[in-house]
Amino acid sequence: MDKNRADIDEGFKRPSPSRVQISAIVILTTTGLIIFYGLTTISFHYSSTNKFCSAQCHEMIEPYQQYLKSSHYDSSRGVVADCADCHLPPGEMNKWYAKVRQGMKDTIMHFLLRPEDFDHQKWKVSAAKNIRSEACLKCHKNLFPSELQRGGLLGHKAFKRGEVKSCLNCHQNLVHMWRES
Ligand code: HEC
Ligand code: HEC
Ligand code: HEC
């Protein structure tokens, strides 16, 4: 047998890990994964709550106050849409992606901006670009309710035919504007 071959065989003869070692590795890895999953899930859900989205950051005070007066919070039937219902796309993977991307941007802005730099009008444009109509359709499943006005009927037909791409093309200032009263 040549020398290289012998070295290789020698390599295979290394003492195999004991059962105790294998069990330890399996148990530690599983526990690690469970803890990791738990923590990310908790932080994911906490950072998606209305409280986190608004109360933690001064730049969100105005949008939050407007939201409290909007038809999506103060609705006639008491049905409430949370910030994340509109601002995050449906689907777990999409949600994660949008949150990480938007979260990093928001965090950077939070530390860089002074209150006098807040440009809510500019933010409206970029926020609207990131809101997907699928998020609206999660709740507004029926676009043709019986009491819909003719204007709405025509608009929603145009949406169904793909002539108008987004709900927000027509429904601007949906939540974040000051209402009378
Ligand atoms: C029903 C859907 C909906 C809900 C619920 C909602 N938003 Fe919005 N948000 C929008 C839309 C649509 C825009 C884009 C501008 C517009 O059309 O008003 C927007 C824009 C914004 C903007 C950028 C404009 C600005 O004034 O700075 C911020 C910030 C914001 N939302 C934060 C929030 C927070 C915080 C909550 C929860 C307290 C919330 N939104 C709840 C739909 C929603
Ligand atoms: C979590 C569920 C939910 C989501 C998500 C949602 N809505 Fe609504 N929407 C409601 C409810 C509930 C009402 C109020 C019904 C009432 O009281 O008449 C409403 C009311 C409305 C109205 C009529 C009142 C008004 O303020 O003009 C429009 C238009 C509307 N939604 C559009 C949208 C659009 C566009 C989106 C996506 C950006 C959206 N909604 C996302 C539940 C939702
Ligand atoms: C081409 C314009 C257009 C598009 C796109 C559009 N809408 Fe509308 N929608 C209207 C008009 C016009 C009305 C009737 C006037 C009003 O209530 O604002 C209306 C009314 C509504 C209402 C109120 C119904 C009522 O009588 O209270 C809801 C809710 C609504 N739209 C949701 C949506 C959602 C969700 C989308 C996207 C999936 C969407 N709309 C896309 C034009 C549009």
Ligand 3 pocket: which of 167, 174, 175, 179 to mutate (most atoms within 8 A of CB): 167
Q: What global pTM score does this model have?
A: 0.83
Same domain, 90 and 5: no
Q: Is 109 in the pocket of ligand 1 (CB under 6 A)?
A: no
Helical residues (DSSP H) of the chain, grouped into ranges: 3-12, 19-46, 50, 61-69, 83-87, 92-112, 120-130, 133-137, 150-160, 167-170
Same domain, 72 and 33: no
pLDDT, one tens digit per residue, over 103-145 is: 888 888 888 888 788 888 888 888 898 899 999 999 999 999 9
Greatest C-alpha distance within the chain: 93
pLDDT, one tens digit per residue, over 59-96 is: 888 889 899 999 999 988 899 999 999 999 888 888 88
Has residue 169 been placed in a domain? Answer: yes
Q: Is 133 in the pocket of ligand 3 (CB under 6 A)?
A: yes
* Residues whose CB is less than 8 angstroms from the CB of residue 83 and which lie 6 or more positions away in sequence, other chains included: 48, 50, 53, 54, 67
Identity of the amino acid at 24: A
Give the domain range for residue 67.
57-181
Compute the distance between CA of residue 100 and CA of residue 114 in angstroms, rounded to an integer.
23
